[in-house]
């Protein structure tokens, strides 16, 4: 019942997503820049200055761990694949599908919130008297933009992964009958 092409596509997408999520986490977490303000005071910019960037670091590292755990299911499914009863396998497929959907939306939301925070740092907000931070911390802003691009790439990879997960789930159902499993 398992489709080998869907399995290999999911493995490749998960490995790619893990790598991109790790790059996003590392670039965002280790990006710092120190500048002299008024030739006396040192000001340091890091991801801890914006709460959305902290959340981005936590969410991307958790998503990389989730994808790694999803990769670990393949040796178990190969070992226990014949012994699983059909009902438990379909429930497992539903859980994986729903978790993949949730992970995609959370990664996209964290990246969008971080992007909004970075746009405030780039343009400033006159109504709140927030100054433009990217005029002083140019390298930090450029590297954070790279981290956000990697985060959106990870969102796209995870959306593709969720579509493969949906394909694997719904290929277990009969095309002729509504929500009836295929018979052998």
Q: pLDDT by residue (tens digit) across 134-183?
A: 777 788 888 888 999 999 999 999 999 999 888 888 887 767 766 666 66
- Given a cut of 50, is residue 79 above it in pLDDT? no
Residue-wise burial string across 27-48, b where 16 or more C-beta atoms lie within 10 A, e elsewhere: bbbebebeeeeeeeeeeebbbe
The whole-chain average pLDDT of the chain stands at 80
What is the CA 26 to chain-centroid distance, rounded?
Answer: 14
Domain definitions of the chain by residue range: 4-170
> pLDDT value at position 1?
43
For 5, residues 6+ apart whose C-beta sits below 8 A from its C-beta are none
For 158, the 3-state DSSP assignment is helix
> pLDDT value at position 153?
95
Return the structure tokens found at 68: 């790694």
> pLDDT value at position 165?
87
């Amino acid at each position: 019942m398992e489709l080998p092409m869907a399995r290999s596509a999911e493995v490749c997408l998960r490995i790619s997503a893990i790598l991109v999520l790790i790059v996003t986490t590392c670039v965002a977490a280790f990006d710092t820049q120190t500048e002299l303000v008024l030739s006396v005071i040192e000001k340091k910019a890091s991801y801890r200055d914006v709460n959305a960037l902290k959340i981005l670091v936590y969410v991307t590292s958790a998503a990389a761990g989730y994808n790694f755990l999803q990769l670990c299911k393949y040796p178990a499914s190969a070992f226990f694949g014949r012994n699983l009863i059909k009902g438990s396998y379909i429930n497992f497929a539903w859980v994986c599908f729903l978790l993949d959907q949730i992970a995609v939306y959370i990664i996209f939301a964290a990246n969008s919130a971080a992007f909004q925070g970075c746009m405030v740092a780039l343009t400033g907000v006159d109504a709140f008297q927030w100054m433009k931070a990217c005029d002083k911390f140019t390298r930090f802003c450029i590297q954070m933009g790279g981290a956000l691009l990697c985060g959106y790439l990870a969102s796209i990879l995870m959306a593709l992964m969720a579509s493969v997960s949906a394909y694997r789930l719904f290929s277990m159902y009969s095309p002729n009958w509504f929500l009836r499993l295929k018979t052998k």
